Amino acid sequence: MLQLILKKALDLDASDIHIKVGAKPVYRIHKRLHVDDEFPVITDEHFALFLKEVVGKSEKKKREFEELGEIDLSYSLPKVSRFRVNVYKQRGTSGMAFRVIPFQVPPFKTLNLPEVMLKTALSNSKGLILVTGPTGSGKSTTLASIIEEINKNFRRVIVTIEDPIEYLLRDKNCFIVQREVGIDTQSFARGLRAALREDPDVIMVGEIRDTETAEIALQAAETGHLVFSTLHTLDAKETVNRLIGMFKLEVRDQIRQMLAGTLIAVFSQRLLPRADKKGSIPAVEIMINTGAIKEALLDPDRIDEIPDLVAKGRAAYGTQTFDQHLEELYRKGLIDFHTAILYATKPSDLELKLRGISSGAEF
C-alpha cells in the first residue's frame, strides 16, 4: 500500500506525503494539504509494514528509531522517484514524512532563480557559500543544481556529506563522492574532517548543525576549498548571527575574521505560490560579500546594517533583499499582492511601494 500511496502522490504532483497511525494519507500539493480518502486510516499494522519497507535491512536504523524516536533516511521507487524520509514517534504512535526528490537534478535555468547565484558559484574556486531557508524552501535542489553545473563545466573532485543523500550525482567532468551520515560516516563533522584528506576541490555539507561542523567548514574554505552548505535561517543577517553564535564568546572575534575572509555569499530562499499558474516560485535574498559587507561582518555593532547594504548593492553587484525580489515578482505577475505582503520582511513598506506610494524607506 505504501508504494500505491507514493505513486498516487507523484501523479498528483505532490511535494510531500504525510502518513501517521490513526489518519488517512495527506499530500502537500502546490503548498496546500489534501487528504486522500481513497486509502483507509493507517493502522499500527500498516505502519509496521511501511517501516520495514523504508528501513530495509538496516538494523542500525531500526534500533535508532526505537531508541531515539526519529530517523532520517532515503527511499526509492525504482525508475519512478526518490524520497527523503523522516520517521518519527508522536503521541504514543508513529508517523512518516516523505519529500519527493526527482531522479534527475533540475537544470539551474528551470528553477527561476536569479542568474547571479550561479555566476557567483561558478566564478569562485574557494570560499564558503551558504544556502538558507526554512524546511521545504528548495535549498537541496538549489545546491544540487549548482553542483551539477560545476560537474558539467569543470574538472574537479567533489565530495558531499548528506543526511540522507538526496539527488544522485553522476560523474560528468568531475569525480564525485557522495557520503551519507549514519551509513558512510558517523556525523557531518567527522565526514567533513575526513573529506579534507580526500583531495577535494569542492565540498558540499548537507547542513551546518553544530560548532564542530561550522569550524571545519570555515577552515576548509580558508585553506582553498569551495564549500557549500545550508542553515535553517531566514535571511543573511540571521545566518551570520547564527553562525557566529555557535561559538564561545572568547573566539567570536576570530570567527568573524574567518567568516569575513572566506564567505562568498548567502542565498536565502522561500518558495511562494505562483499567481500565473500552478506551482511555486522562489523568492531569494542574495548577499554577496562585498567590501562593505566584509566591514560589517568584522564589526559586531554593524551586523544590523547588512539588509541596507544588500539593498544598496543591487545595481552594482546583483544583491537583493527579499522585499526587492517580491516587488519584482509581483510586477511580473508571478505572485499576487496578498502573497507579496504575506512574505515581506517589511510588509507596510512593501504595501506602500506596490500601491505606488513612496515610504521613504529602502528595503
pLDDT tens-digit map of 236-258: 999 999 999 999 999 999 999 99
**Separation of first and last alpha carbons in the chain:** 50
Closest CA to 314 of 300, 301, 328, 295: 328
56 within domain boundaries: yes
Mean pLDDT of 216-244: 97
E-strand ranges in the chain read: 16-20, 26-29, 32-35, 70-77, 81-90, 93-101, 127-132, 157-162, 175-180, 202-205, 226-231, 263-273, 280-288
Using CA atoms of 341, 346, 349, 352 in order, give the dihedral in degrees to the nearest 10. Answer: 0
333 within domain boundaries: no
147 and 7 share one domain: no
The CATH number given to whatever domain includes residue 66 is 3.30.450.90
**Cell numbers describing residue 255:** 570567527
CA 15 – CA 195 distance, rounded (Å): 32
Contact 70, 88 (CB under 8 A): yes
Using CA atoms of 19, 81, 184, 132 in order, give the dihedral in degrees to the nearest 10. Answer: -80
129 and 256 share one domain: yes
pLDDT digits 0-9 by tens, 48-90: 999 999 988 778 888 889 899 999 988 999 878 899 999 999 9
Instruction: Please identify, among 62, 81, 101, the residue that sits at the C-terminal boundary of a domain.
Output: 101
252 and 136 share one domain: yes
pLDDT digits 0-9 by tens, 146-159: 999 999 999 999 99
70 and 155 share one domain: no
95 and 113 share one domain: no
67 and 168 share one domain: no
26 and 112 share one domain: no
8 and 118 share one domain: no
91 and 140 share one domain: no
352 within domain boundaries: no
56 and 155 share one domain: no
Instruction: Please identify, among 45, 76, 101, the residue that sits at the C-terminal boundary of a domain.
Output: 101
Q: Which domain holds residue 301?
A: 108-320
Mean pLDDT of 22-26: 97
pLDDT digits 0-9 by tens, 318-354: 999 999 999 999 999 999 999 999 999 999 999 999 9
Q: DSSP letter for 181, please.
A: B
pTM over 0.85: yes
84 and 121 share one domain: no
183 and 215 share one domain: yes
Contact 105, 145 (CB under 8 A): yes
CA 274 – CA 288 distance, rounded (Å): 27
Mean pLDDT score of the chain: 94
CA 204 – CA 198 distance, rounded (Å): 13
